[in-house]
Every structure is written in structure tokens, then in C-alpha cells.
Structure 1
Amino acid sequence: MKIRKLTTVVEEILSEGGRETSPVITVAAVAAVIENPWRGQGFVEDLNPGIDATASALGAELAPRVMEALGGSLEAYGKAAIIGLNGEIEHGSALIHTLKFGNHFRDAAQASTLLPAVEKRGEAGAVFDIPLKHFTDATIRSHHQTFEWRVADAPHADEILIALAGSTGGRPQQRLAPLSADK
């Protein structure tokens, strides 16, 4: 795996809707800009060698960085991939939709739900809309949210931008009824 750069962003949400947020909610994301392991190979039928060579090491690199940026406390999380224009959507999916990648984050967060995900092809500076959900119960509505972010110079055409994001809480000032209220 060849990493060109790692980028971390941390936001602290102090107020929402004109009201102070208590406690303050921190959202952090860490992205790696990597060389696409299938670059220049045309259509690759078996993606497993590239997955085996990349996914676990990438998860091991990103997960602890997100946890550190959050101060070790996490309640919601998600993942995303933006594939450079010379790659396939399946290349990003292959790296993030495997337990070899995701289990590093689940283990670090002591989580039990699958990570929500999004992937797309885009040029450098394409916007991530990383979906976040509760780390132990995906039906908890207060934690369904989106974190928007971009890395200005990535991905290049033969790169993939992979990100993990986490939050110390749900949406600020959330007040929707529990999912069970709809039944």
C-alpha cells in the first residue's frame, strides 16, 4: 500500500439552532490518499489480492487516528471512499466493504454495528458525504447524520481516498421520537 498523504479534520459543535450544545459534540474524520492497487490493470476479475494487500493495513492506520482525534470516546461512525477517475467504484467498495478494513474501527470503538458507507468516483476535491450511525444500535435515530468534507488535492486519477469518521454524540438538539414510536 502506498499512502501519499493522511489528513485529519476535527470539528467541535458548540451550538445548534441558536442553543448551546451540552455536551459539546466532536466529529473527526481521517482520510488516506492511496495509490489504487488495481491501477493500470484494466478490468480485474479477482480483486482479492489487492484487498488482502491493502484493506487491513489501511483500517489499522486510520481507526486509531480517529479514536485519538475524538479523545477515545465514540458514539457514531461511518466510512467512505472516493475513487479517482481512472478507477472503478468497485475498487473503493472492495477496500471498505470488508471486515479486514472495518473491524479495526469496530474493535477500537468497541462497536457492534456495521459501518454505514458511501463510495463514488470523483476528481480531486470531490466532497465526501460520510454517513454516521450509532455504533451499537443502527436504529437509534439521533445518531443518523452526515459529515461533509473534502480533501482539496485528492484523489488523483489513479488514487483512492478512503476515510473513517466518528462522532462523540448524535445530532445536536435532536428531538425525534424513537423508531419504535412509528409502529
Structure 2
Amino acid sequence: MTQRCAWAGSDPLYIHYHDTEWGVPTDDARTLFEFLVLEGAQAGLSWITVLRKRERYRAVFDGFDPERIVRYGDAKKAELLADPGIIRNRAKIDAAIVNARAWLDLQEAGTDPVAWLWSFVGGQPVQNAFSALGEIPATTPQSDAMSKALKARGFKFVGSTICYALMQAAGMTNDHVVSCPRHDAVTALARTRGCA
């Protein structure tokens, strides 16, 4: 097997995420909202830290259902802050609830959040051809635009770096290095995608 992206390292959880999920285009609303919350939770931390807590996040955040999260009150927030299985940061927990409200506000205004997020890349994945990890940017004009638009809609923890990480995770951009076998596999998946 040719060399996978260097960031995947040797951790089996990281390798599985790299080999099966990262960069795969998704139109699933729940998955996109999950990435939005988790990428925000990652701020200042490593992604592997978040991955190791992901299943617990799914359990205590009701499967990332924004309609349930938006109803979280003080008792639920206190419960989350006391849970060692997630990142116990009040601002990040509050942001998940605020973001659930903003997500639902988009829907209630007649905007499909999935199509809206994909619109920042013109509805089709950006196909990059980086040869080394160091060439991959932390932000792009598209992530800058997404960040600005999300903030304008009331979302929190959605800086451009977080937005670019979301775009990478959700397959809005293919940032597997060209020597990685997943680069061509993800490129092929993008050709079959039919996002509005």
C-alpha cells in the first residue's frame, strides 16, 4: 500500500477515520451538524482527542439531533460539564446549543443547511493535489466566506480554521495528499456525488 497521509500516524482510530471517513463527500444533515459541533469542540486541541470522545459525544448530545440539543437547559448543561467523556468547556457546550438553534433557524427560514454549506464550494468538492502535508492550508477563501456567513447567522466557534476542518472532514475539499491511496478513491466518490 502506498503511503497514507502522514497525519493519520499509527493510532488505529485515526487510521480508520482517515481510511473510511475523512474527505468522503457527505450530504447527511446529521453528519454535517456533528462535524460542526465536533470541529468547534476541537478548537485548541488535537483531532484525535475529539475522535476518542466522539462516541460519548453522540450519546450525551442525543445523536447530534439539533431539535433535541436546542432544548438543553441548565440541568443538562451542568450534566455535560460534569461528564469526563467529553470536552468539559462551558463555552463549547454553550456553542453546541447556540449552533443547534442557528441550524434550525436556517431550516425555518427555508434554507437547507446542507445545500447552504455546500454552496461555499459551488456544490462540488474541491479537488486538490498536494504532495506534502505542509502544503495543505489551514484556511481558504471558501472557508473564510463560510465562517463569515455562519457568524452572521449566529453560529459560534466557526472561525475560518474550524470551517476548513469541517470542509475537509465532510469532503467539501479533497486534501488527501496525491501519494495517499485515498486521494484517488475520494476523487472518484466526488464524481458520483449529486449535491444540490
Mark yes or no: TM-score above 0.5.
no
Q: Which structure ranks higher in relative contact order (CA pairs < 8 Å, sequence separation ≥ 6)?
A: 2
Q: TM-score range with shorter-chain normalisation? A: under 0.3
- Taking structure 2 as the reference length, the TM-score comes to 0.24
**Which structure has greater helix proportion?**
2
- Taking structure 1 as the reference length, the TM-score comes to 0.25
